[in-house]
Amino acid sequence: MSHVDGFVQQFERHRLLGRPARFYGRRHEQILYLVIGAWNTLFGYVVWALMQYLLHDYIFYLFILVLAWFPAVLNAYICYRYFVFRSKGSVWRELPRFSLVYVGTLCAGLIGLPILLRVLPFNIYVTQALFTAAMVIASYLSHKYFSFKGGREKPISVG
């Protein structure tokens, strides 16, 4: 049990804070995934946007997408492993599976971004932001049932 989980359990029977504490207890993994996912999405988008802005005159935009993939995936793996899924599994087993999930989203981006740029009336920054937002649910399910399968701590039973 983490310090946060123990802290939240103290409020389960509180008249005012009990309902939010019980909700957090039932959905803490999803809540943490959203918070950490927001950070990872922002981090990955900023890395990509910065590279796109600095390198677009020299490097084709799809290659920039591939270059930005590496730091974004490493950041995401570290955050999801330690803060969301609390995995104790082997990094050498999890990281390739984790990366494979993002290879899928990278391939989807390499195929989808050129199509969306032609179809949607937005510039590359807005189009990539919309595409990134669409990948959040698919990546959550992929990480939960594939990347960190087997190495996770057992969830805490609350209520």
Task: Note whether residue 19 is domain-resident.
Answer: no
| Structural domain contains residue 74 | yes
For residue 77, name the pLDDT band (cuts at 50, 70, 90). Answer: very high
More confident site: 64 or 147: 64
Residue 154 located in a structural domain: no
In a domain, 8, yes or no: no
Mean of pLDDT values over 52-67: 96
Is 4 among the domain residues?
no
What average pLDDT does range 101-106 have in this prediction? 88
DSSP state, 2? -
- Could you tell me the residue range of the domain that residue 114 belongs to? 29-147
CA distance linking residue 23 with residue 19, whole number of Å: 6
Q: Which tens digit of pLDDT belongs to each residue from 5-51?
A: 555 566 666 666 666 666 666 677 788 888 898 899 899 999 999 99
Residue 34, in any domain of the structure: yes
Amino acid identity of residue 89, one-letter, is G
Looking at the structure of the chain, the number of domains it has is 1
Whether residue 80 is predicted with pLDDT greater than 70 in this model: the reply is yes
Across all residues in the chain, what is the average pLDDT?
82
Name the token pair of 125.
Answer: 């920054």
Give the total residue count for the chain.
159
Residue with tokens 């990278």: 106
Q: Decide if 92 is inside a domain.
A: yes
Q: How confident is the model at residue 159 (pLDDT cuts 50, 70, 90)?
A: very low
- What pLDDT does residue 42 have? 93
Rounded to two decimals, the pTM is: 0.71
Question: For residue 113, with 0-12 CB atoms within 10 Å meaning exposed, 13-18 middle and 19 or more buried, which class applies?
Answer: middle
For residues 29 and 84, is the Cβ–Cβ distance under 8 A? yes
Is residue 2 one of the residues assigned to a domain? no
